[in-house]
Amino acid sequence: MAMVDLDFVKTYVRMCNDGWLQGWHERNGGNLTYRLSEKNVEAARSFFGEPREWHEIGVALPNLAREYFVATGSGKYLRNVALDPEANIGICELDEKGERWRVVWGLPGSVPTSEFPTHLMNHSVRKRVTGGTNRVIYHCHATNVIALTYVLPLTDRDFTRALWQSATECPVVFPEGVGVVPWMVPGGVDIARATSKKMETYQAAIWAMHGLFVSGPDFDTAFGLAHTIEKSADVYVRVLSCGGVRQTITDDDLRAIARDFGVTLNPAML
Ligand code: 2HA
Ligand code: ZN
């Protein structure tokens, strides 16, 4: 038995590879973090090494104090995770104030992704607004989502409506809609703040000219959300390249879906 034999590590590794197979992780693009449950920590603890030095997050996240996260490494390629998990992913512990992190397993000589502050701020918000059920934050360079940020107005409403109308399952999967973050320099605290603000309302946030951030209680749900959003964006891009929309799902149709599937659509999007 080793760290890589634990179910949560195996599922994490599988998701990295699934994203790679989708074409969302060129070079070192994209990153994935998972907040361990108490049971996960118990199962993993005997494999932890000597903890390494502390690093500042840049913000205080007290509701994540003493939590543990799996994270992809800075500059690491998601393509390589399945071949050598220990070299490409690590487990970090947060301090007793939720202000610093340190690596306790994996990533020898390295550190977590440059987007770790964004991931942690999103975890903090999603943990709070979901009553602790959210555990996964995933960033991918979903091609068609990115393409649409060059042609659609960069508003939550424009993106939500385009996605809801381009695949019938969308209003059921994300009835609250999606958030859109304007173009910003990645890797810093400003884009992290802007993204986590969107995560107060939405399970997903689009980064203009860059990619997609999604959240979820588990790997299947988070990956499924990214996949659903990207599929719908793909359909919309094809519609545009076929000459544009001639008919679509109307607002009354959207209301009918919501009624039959028992979801409440964000009224600001209708
Ligand atoms: O980790 O995707 O946004 C590489 C990136 C930065
Ligand atoms: Zn990115």
Residue 206, pLDDT > 90, answer: yes
Confidence tier at 30 by pLDDT (50, 70, 90): very high
If you average pLDDT over residues 180-194, what whole number do you get?
95
- Compute the distance from residue 115 Cα to the ligand 1 centre, in Å: 6
Question: 20, 25, 28: which to mutate for ligand 1, most atoms within 8 A of CB?
Answer: 28
Per the structure, the count of domains in the chain is 2
Residue 107 lies in a domain: yes
150 lies in the same domain as 266: yes
Known catalytic residues are: 115
- Compute the distance from residue 113 Cα to the ligand 2 centre, in Å: 10
Q: In which domain, by residue range, is 76 found? A: 1-114
236 lies in the same domain as 270: yes
Residue 60, pLDDT > 90, answer: yes
Residue 128 lies in a domain: no
- Compute the distance from residue 29 Cα to the ligand 1 centre, in Å: 5
Take atom 4 of ligand 1 and give the residue whose Cα is closest.
29
Contact between 134 and 199 (Cβ < 8 Å): no
Residue 127 lies in a domain: no
Contact between 152 and 219 (Cβ < 8 Å): no
If you average pLDDT over residues 175-186, what whole number do you get?
98
Strands 179-181 and 204-207: what pairing?
parallel
If you average pLDDT over residues 145-167, what whole number do you get?
98
Instruction: Report the nearest atom of ligand 1 relative to the CA of 113.
Output: 1
- Compute the distance from residue 244 Cα to the ligand 1 centre, in Å: 32
58 lines ligand 1 (CB under 6 A): no
State the CATH number of the domain containing residue 208: 3.40.225.10
122 lines ligand 1 (CB under 6 A): no
Residue 31, pLDDT > 90, answer: yes
- In whole angstroms, how far apart are CA 81 and each of 5, 71, 126, 146? 14, 11, 26, 24
Q: The tokens of 201 are what?
A: 């309302």
Phi and psi angles of residue 94, each rounded to the nearest 5 degrees, phi first:
-95, 155
Residue bearing tokens 């695949």: 167
Angle at which helices 156-166 and 219-241 cross, to 10°: 90
96 lies in the same domain as 156: no
142 lies in the same domain as 104: no
Note the Cα 47 to chain centre separation in Å: 27
Alpha helices (H) along 35-93: 38-44, 78-81, 85-88
Give the torsion through C-alpha atoms of 43, 47, 51, 52, to 10 deg. -120
115 lines ligand 1 (CB under 6 A): yes
With a CB cutoff of 8 Å and minimum separation 6, the contacts of 73 are 87, 88, 89, 90, 106, 107, 110, 111, 112, 113
- Compute the distance from residue 156 Cα to the ligand 2 centre, in Å: 20
Distance of alpha carbon 162 from alpha carbon 140, whole angstroms: 20
Residue 86 lies in a domain: yes
Q: The tokens of 200 are what?
A: 């107060």
28 lines ligand 1 (CB under 6 A): yes
| E strand map for the chain | 31-35, 55-56, 68-72, 89-94, 100-106, 136-140, 179-181, 204-207, 211-216
**pTM beyond 0.85, yes or no:** yes
180 lies in the same domain as 264: yes
Residue 202 lies in a domain: yes
Residue 110 lies in a domain: yes
Instruction: Report the nearest atom of ligand 1 relative to the CA of 186.
Output: 3
112 lines ligand 1 (CB under 6 A): no
164 lies in the same domain as 83: no
113 lines ligand 1 (CB under 6 A): yes
**How many CB atoms sit inside 10 A of residue 261's CB?**
12
Distance of alpha carbon 70 from alpha carbon 112, whole angstroms: 9
pLDDT tens sequence across 215-243: 999 999 999 999 999 999 999 999 999 99
pLDDT tens sequence across 67-104: 999 999 999 999 999 999 999 999 999 999 999 999 99
Tell which of 52, 86, 114 closes a domain: 114
**How many CB atoms sit inside 10 A of residue 162's CB?**
23
Residue 188, pLDDT > 90, answer: no
Instruction: Report the nearest atom of ligand 1 relative to the CA of 114.
Output: 1
DSSP code per residue over 222-247: HHHHHHHHHHHHHHHHHHHHTT--SS
Give the pLDDT score at 236.
Answer: 98
Sheet-wide strand order for 68-72: 55-56, 100-106, 89-94, 68-72, 31-35, 136-140, 211-216, 204-207, 179-181
